[in-house]
Structure 1
Amino acid sequence: MRQRASFEHCELCNRAIPLTFHHLIPRKMHRRPRFKKAYTRDELNQGIWVCQACHRGIHKLFDEMTLARDYYTLEKLLADPAVQKHIAWVGKQRRG
């Protein structure tokens, strides 16, 4: 898991906190023929920088196939009501 050492803003909850890289199409799906045919290597490696709480939340809410099939952009993630609820919860947590 790639990690940014500097403090920047999470692309989901917007907190200034150390970030981790979330592949929008999970790496486990990259070798599947469906995804190999549909996306370039650069598209498969696209992702967002999120805090650990948001990263864990994404993976608790959705399995890898669902993420790859339905939530492969930041906009699609942000539009989901469960993700919005998680973001609201994370925003109330202490930053430490």
Structure 2
Amino acid sequence: MACVDVDSLMQYETEAQKGRPDALYNLGLAYSTGNGVGVDFVAAHKWFNLAALRGVEEAKSWRAQVASEMLPAQIAEAQRLAREWLSLFRN
């Protein structure tokens, strides 16, 4: 994955709000690897979870990998954030 710049991240966020599975997945990759942002496993898990819900099979394995590095409370927070995001941007 090439280095992600701020403009690309903003574009991914915009596309994610439209329900684009690839944008959700790319946000998960960015946050899980620290590509263009700081590593944030809670955010990465949230985005991978949302991408998996949209049918991105690779997101399931990435989500599991990230979860293996997280505490149960962090996973619960990521799931809460995913539900909150869905309530705002369900399409």
Q: Taking structure 2 as the reference length, what is the TM-score of the superposition? A: 0.33
Computing the radius of gyration from Cα coordinates, the structure with the larger value is 1
Q: Which has the higher contact order (CA 8 A, sep 6+)?
A: 1
Higher strand share goes to which structure?
A: 1
- Structure with greater helix share of residues: 2
